[in-house]
A and B are shown apart, each in its own frame.
Chain A
Amino acid sequence: MVASAEVRVARCGGSRINFIEPIITLDSRFLLCASGDAVHVYSTSTEERVHVLQGHVDLVTGLRLNSSNHLQVYSCSLDGTVKLWDFTDGILIKTYIVGHKIFSLYVSKFHEGTVFIILPMESSANTEAFQLVALHLPKTTGPEVEARDILSVLRDVSPIPKATSFGRGGEFVASASGLQLSVYFFRKQKTYRFSLKANDKKGARNRFTCVASHPNDDCIATGHEDGKIRLWRNFSQKKEYTYSTEHWHHSAVNALHFTPEGTELLSGGVESVLVLWRYGAGSKKDFVPRLGSAIEHISVSPDGSLYCTSHKDNKIVVMKSSRDISAIIQGLVKGETIRTDLLIDPRTKALVCNGKPGHLQFFSLRHDKQLYNLDIVQQEYIHEAGLHQCEVTKAAIDAQGSWLATVEERQENPEELDIILKLWAYDESTQSFHLNTSISMAHEGQISAMCFSGDAEATMLVTTGRDGHFKAWLLADHPDAQGEGASWSCDYVGSYHRREPTRCCFSADGSLLAVGFGEVVTVWSPSTWELLVTFSQPPGDIRDLCFGRLSCSKYLLGTTTKNLLCCWNLLTCSLEWSSTVDVILLQPDPLSENMAAFSRASGSTDLFVFKPSEPRPLFSQKAVCSGTVRRAVFAPREEVLEGCDESTQWLSCSRLYFLTEHMELMTFSTKSEEDQIIASSKQLVIDDSVAVTPFYLLLGKHRKSQRETQDSVSSHTAARIQLPQGSPAIRELLHTPAHVLPSASFLCNMFVNSLLISKSGVR
């Protein structure tokens, strides 16, 4: 089956919100940040997401307020378009098609009708060279405009957005790349370049990391790899330029930003401390410490009342200039690696995986929002290079979502391994998990796999360890422990020919347990602990195991390290079929018979979706992403997707999410689904500028009903005098968004007409 064009790999939820610098609107009420292919609009006071501006088909790389209309925002993306949005209503106004990958976007108040973008250099063969160009935006009407009128400003710039900055009144642009700072003066049309030495005797590393320009003075601040901040002045001289150096950060300065009045310079780095330098007062500075994670970007609201920092753990902190934190917007925390599987919490339908060090995060994919963090390790996290931390390596949730099992591991050296198996019970009253049992050294070696049985009555946990055993754990009441309730204890220890178990899997009804020992799959009955049958398909160890679901529950699927995908029939105890595919990940859909298999093929990963009973895959797509896929999970949909044809049927009741090598959470979306979203977003018109928060919706309903009763009371008085507000022309006038209204001269006639009381009525 050919990959359908209707299904595409998309970023949907869980994207990086710290990818580019967030911006705060002029009235400081909204915060806009790019998140994958979309732009999110958050309220700065309630942290609530107000709108999602969807329309780009690749990563959004730049976001700037329109300087001539502060209710509009420009965004650019790797898909080669610049889009203009109305962020209060969430409407796409215009699309400018550039046709090249755009890496960054800048807007200058003094260059009307022009935006500045960073593009790859066309002429040069290497793709590493970039240029800053001025893009003239054509004034033609129509939603999609080709914008080809580009003028090169600076060559050989860095594609990183924060390495370029526009100076006082848009007179000059400063851009740093490597060890060179280039300043281009628009009026003189002249470029000055200043170079630093790569390193000096004292071991300074002078590579530029970021640039900021003072809003009123001719002063450029640059951040460097070794933590220095240089303030450049007099840079219109080739030789008599000068700079002063400040040094507080111990490693690279990640972000620099001047406040709008230029009285303070804000800097941040890996120290997770926001440093506020007084401008002109030498090394006097203030600190906002303990922000939790390394600062990636800093932005300041145009009125200077709000500071906003983006952090490495996908978090945006909004603080007032008094340094009180007013909002924290948390995205999906993604570290360098992910040790646990992606899980779906059955209660909240949230994605559960490693979050902050030693924590599990519960992330709502639907709302693209972190619900909460569960502290598993319950130890203070100390950041230090080379320190061995306690890490959560395995997690499992039972089918009802009432039990959570976690494994944490700490290994200082190969001999000393510290493993703790923790079981957490869901507490209805507090709506969170509480520690029920903590078992240290549950296995002698590392725990390689862990799963709950699907049986609703007697929940059982099976763990397999590197010590050659698998253990079954059961919840049991202990007579000697009074009042503490039930806790978990070991029920059975199993092994098979001293082989090392690698995988375990329960059948959907919990009546069978399959444990993979090297190249042998053993099937056990959990009620009697009897070894029912063994399957083996040498050579190659078992990499992944899973039972079929629903109508296919008679099948057991396994993949081996020697590129074999096997399907055994449990009724006949024989191999039903096998196929030579290098499957690295096998994921069953809990709501259907479908299975997703990711297979590795020459630098990229292919996806097959199949039913174990059918020989042909339902869906296959080559090269869903480059590199390998780390984890995948089927997340159930809130409502079943309508209008799916045969090829997209597998996406109708659940979505497949997967995590790529670069820790990007991707999913599959169908064309019809996207059309629906775009259609719904265009219809969305809010009658006033109040943010649609849950609070508002609650209050709004209440108000509406109140108003209705009032209306009924005053209806007879209103009927007598026909107030102008009631006329349809004025209602239309007031309810249409300003940017789609015709010109005022045209409206004036209509407006005056509506005010006139028709003569015929008097007569």
Chain B
Amino acid sequence: MGEFKVHRVRFFGYMPSGIRCMSFNERAERLALGRLDGTLEIFNFKDSFYQEKVIPGNDSRSVEAVCWVAERLFTAGLNGEITEYDLENLCPKYSLDAFGGPIWTVACNAQGTHLAVGCEDGSIKLFEILPEKIRFERNLDRQKGRVLSLSWHESGTRIAAGMLDMIRIFDVQSGELCTCLMLVDRGVSGMRNHECVVWCVAFLSDLTVISTDSSGKVQVWNAAMGILSSTHLVSKSDVLSLAVSKDESSFVVGTSEGTVVQFQFLANILGGDEKAWVRTKTFKPHTHDVRALAEIGTAVVSGGLDTQLVVRPLLDKVDIMSYDNVLHKIHFPHRSLVSCAQKAGMLLFQFPAQLEVWRLGESEGRKPGDTLFVKKNPEKLLQLKRKGEDHISCSAISPCGGWLAYSTVSSLRVYRLQCDEHVSISKVGGLCHCSSTRAPRTALLHFDSLSLLSAWCCSFANVFKSHPVCLCLLFPGAQCISHHILLLSSPFPFQPHCTVPIYGSCPTAMGIHPTSNNLLMVHADRQIFEYSIVEKQYTDWSRRVQREGLHKLWLERDTPVTHVTFNPRNAAQFMLHDTYMFCIIDQSLPLPDNKCQFYNQITLKSLSEQERLSHAHAFKMCTKYQHLLFLGLLDDESLVVVQRPLTDIASQLPAPVRLKKFAT
């Protein structure tokens, strides 16, 4: 194992953005998530809820609603544009102005032929979906007041629109208003002067309309007759989101108090025909507004202003308890926002709008288990604001600390950093773009001493000052389910060296061993592979891992491994970390089987030397540092641990809706 000096870094002020909207694609089992800063994230629910793709935001673009049409993804925002995305290149494909003012909502019919958007000026615009683009078809009857929510009937002939104080049903064929008009009560007397905003509507196949509004009501309407069937007062403030299950037997609503309330369509008499919507369970997954909800059959996915994504299983729908059926909370992105210059002892922090370079502090004293005295405080060397409106998608710093690079959707910038007496930075110009036709969309930047390699999604590689070196690249495949790992051989120009066999789950972290040149990969399902680049095959250790299998507790860990580091002192050891732990894996020790104790450090401590040997296994876990964003090894063999406590994030959030608590 070994002892390390640990730099515990808690000055990375990372602040995730609140969740605005989400949409679940049942066929692909992917969840598209829109954040308040315009970032779009795609989670693969088949693959351990891994954050597969991130499309960085743009200051001029907001995402108010997101909608899947088959495999295509559309968003609409308050800038009045509908945007389709290129999910291979992770960038907007095209934008179309709807000319109706800010767009509040977008909905696609069940047939996938038309898209309806609800605009600020009260118009509902229909767009025809064509293979490569969308085309404006017509307007439905324009009404006074904004359209905040839309829902298509299953048949595609009617559409329900939630507006201010009312719900209207439109006939799609004629574009006319159906006779029925449902007026929403404004609620308690103090709210009479305020308009009641119908935040969400859902049109069920039996012509039932469910609405949620700003006075805290959930109402069930009979759209055929235009009458109110039942009202449930759920909250004292707004009910912001609604999601109906696929079989229409239940729905969930999210309130601004952070609660999610489930309603079920239950028979009054067991086995009888007469059914009614009954409020059943109440969860409180959030502290702030629940802005987005999705019902995925076996679970309820909720997200809100408190920035976390919560996957709450519905235990009555679950057959077997397994890893996929437990409560998941996703706080942090599944990629590293920190890069470390090992030689110089510097850290680069990536924010959407800027980069920060910090130099680590120094300490004195070396006593195991002690908190060391900080001799020199860490200092912030540099804050680099990005150019343009696009958010930074990735960044890197060279191990010597002399080079810095970041990229956005549209550009790649490299800087020379000198920090001897005073810090100076200069942009490196004249980068040769291999492809002028497409802007480089960097998925990964990697520095190795003097070389920089950036990888494009479409297998473009660009290398400056090439030196004989091996590099690893990560290709998030867009169309194929699996993900390729391609090895390039040096010297420049790079040639494909080999392709690692495709594995069914996304790789989440990988690294090349500095001495043995073995490629180590950790996948989203927490499987570990080691591939020998020289022999172009899996190593013996990797085969042994596959043969014997990993420990159950390892496979049930909640968050993916985001970084791999190698111990230079011991070639057989490498380190992995996820959000809640880091672990040192010793390849020379036997693998744990399911019977033996996995977290065994405390047991080992109490044993004698001989017994310790017989009980030791390859995994050494350390859960002392929680909410890890990064873990790296410096050249002086000290560990850098970047933490971001959740309480710090919560303290920066706006104050939640005040709730009266009993006995306070």
Contacts and interface: CB of A to CB of B under 8 A. Distances in A.
Interface of A: 168, 216-218, 233-237, 239-245, 250, 280-284
Contact of B270 (A236, A239, A242): A236
Contacts of B266: 233-234, 242
A244 B280 contact: yes
A243 B316 contact: no
A245 B281 CA distance: 7
Contacts of B317: 240
Contacts of A244: 278-282
B220 to A, nearest CB: 12
Contacts of A280: 230, 276, 278
A218 B278 contact: no
Nearest to A172: B270
Contacts of A284: 233
A217 B269 contact: yes
Interface residues of B, number: 22
B233 A283 contact: yes
B133 to A, nearest CB: 44
B316 A236 contact: no
Interface in B229-284: 230, 232-234, 264, 266-271, 276, 278-282
A236 B266 CA distance: 12
Contacts of A250: 662-663
Contact of B268 (A217, A241, A243, A282): A217
B270 A243 contact: no
A240 B234 CA distance: 23
Interface string B294-329: 000000000000000000000111000000000000
Given A241-B316, A245-B281, A282-B232, 16 more contacts: A168-B269, A216-B268, A216-B269, A218-B269, A233-B278, A234-B270, A236-B271, A239-B315, A239-B316, A242-B280, A242-B281, A242-B316, A243-B281, A244-B280, A244-B282, A282-B233
Nearest to B271: A236
Contacts of A245: 281-282
Contacts of B662: 250
Nearest to B264: A242
A527 B269 CA distance: 83
Contacts of B663: 250
10 contacts: A216-B268, A216-B269, A233-B278, A234-B267, A236-B270, A236-B271, A242-B280, A244-B281, A280-B276, A282-B233
A234 B281 CA distance: 13
A625 B317 CA distance: 56
Contacts of A218: 267-270
A243 B278 CA distance: 10
Interface string B344-363: 00000000000000000000
Contacts of B232: 281-282
A235, A245, A280, A283: which has the most chain B beta carbons within 10 Å? A280
Nearest to B233: A282
Contacts of B271: 236
Contacts of B269: 168, 216-218
A282 B276 CA distance: 13
A259 B234 CA distance: 25
A38 B279 CA distance: 44
B250 to A, nearest CB: 9
Nearest to B318: A239
Contacts of A217: 268-269
B260 to A, nearest CB: 13
Contacts of A236: 270-271
A233 B316 contact: no
B234, B264, B317: which has the most chain A beta carbons within 10 Å? B264
A271 to B, nearest CB: 12
Contact of A233 (B233, B280, B282, B315): B280
A137 B230 CA distance: 46
Interface string B178-208: 0000000000000000000000000000000
B233, B234, B270, B281: which has the most chain A beta carbons within 10 Å? B270
A282 B279 contact: yes
B231 to A, nearest CB: 8
Contacts of A168: 269
A216 B268 CA distance: 8
Which 3 pairs, one residue from A and one from B, show the smallest C-beta to C-beta distance?
A218-B270, A217-B268, A242-B280
A242 B317 CA distance: 11
Contacts of A282: 232-234, 279
Contacts of B264: 233-234, 242
Contacts of A234: 264, 266-267, 270
A241 B232 CA distance: 21
Nearest to A238: B316
A236 B233 CA distance: 28
A50 B184 CA distance: 56
A234 B264 CA distance: 10
Nearest to A214: B268
A555 to B, nearest CB: 61
A281 B663 CA distance: 26
A239 B316 CA distance: 5
Contacts of A281: 232
Contacts of A233: 264, 266, 278, 280
Contact of A243 (B233, B234, B280): B280
A191 to B, nearest CB: 15
A234, A245, A284: which has the most chain B beta carbons within 10 Å? A234
A240 B278 contact: no
A218 B269 CA distance: 5
A241 B267 CA distance: 12
Nearest to A247: B662
Interface in B206-236: 230, 232-234
A236 B278 CA distance: 17
B316 A240 contact: yes
B232, B233, B267, B268: which has the most chain A beta carbons within 10 Å? B268
B248 to A, nearest CB: 15
A641 to B, nearest CB: 57
A243 B316 CA distance: 11
A4 B276 CA distance: 67
Nearest to A282: B232
A431 B266 CA distance: 62
A43 to B, nearest CB: 38
A239 B298 CA distance: 13
A282 B239 CA distance: 15
A263 to B, nearest CB: 13
B230 to A, nearest CB: 8
Contacts of A216: 268-269
A216 B278 CA distance: 16
A245 B283 CA distance: 11
Interface in B421-455: none
Contacts of A283: 233
Contacts of B230: 280
A185 to B, nearest CB: 9
Contacts of B268: 216-218
A283 B232 CA distance: 9
Contacts of B279: 244, 282
A245 B278 CA distance: 12
Contacts of A239: 315-316
A243 B662 CA distance: 23
Nearest to B662: A250
Nearest to B261: A244
Interface in B120-155: none
A243 to B, nearest CB: 7
Interface in B633-664: 662-663
A233 B282 CA distance: 15
A236 B281 CA distance: 18
Nearest to B262: A242
A234 B280 CA distance: 11
B315 to A, nearest CB: 8
Contacts of B267: 218, 234
A236 to B, nearest CB: 5
A241 B317 CA distance: 10
Contacts of B282: 244-245
